[in-house]
Structure 1
Amino acid sequence: MTSPAAGNLYSRYMAARAVHSDHRAACAQCTDNSRCPVGKRLYDSFARLQDAYLTRQHQQRR
């Protein structure tokens, strides 16, 4: 069973992914290899949340 904290982390992770994807689609400066300052901040936030979520998943499966 998923704890409320884990569910919240997943929701935040997916929201960050959506915000980053929307920005990437609309920003002419962002590419696969470089990001504008806003795109970098959004990507970094998404990556941190993804790492935290995957780490928690790994720990729960031990």
Structure 2
Amino acid sequence: MAESLYDRYMAAARAYREHEQQCTDCSSKSRCETGRRLYESFARLQDAHLNWLRKRG
């Protein structure tokens, strides 16, 4: 069964948090290449999930 948008959004948030806790190059103002990719994925999925919720109304 395919993961829901919410599940993918939460998995992306978890992956980014775990990376941020371990990476010495990442901060709230600057991210390494991997951190940037993970954050962009999280942000994109968060936007998609919030848009989906708004449309449900």
Q: RMSD between aligned alpha carbons?
A: 1.3
Q: Does 1:48 align with 2:34?
A: no
**Which of the two has higher C-alpha Rg?**
1
Could you tell me which runs of 5 or more consecutive residues in structure 1 were left unpaired when the two chains were aligned.
none
Could you tell me which runs of 5 or more consecutive residues in structure 2 were left unpaired when the two chains were aligned.
none
CA distance in 2, matches of 1:39, 1:52: 20
Counterparts of residues 1-62 of structure 1 (less than 5 Å): 8-61=4-57
CA distance in 2, matches of 1:47, 1:34: 15
- Report the identity percentage: 48
CA distance in 2, matches of 1:32, 1:45: 16
The runs of at least 4 consecutive aligned structure 1 residues that moved more than 6 Å come to: none
Q: What is the TM-score with the length of structure 2 in the denominator?
A: 0.94
DSSP-derived class of the 2:52 partner: helix
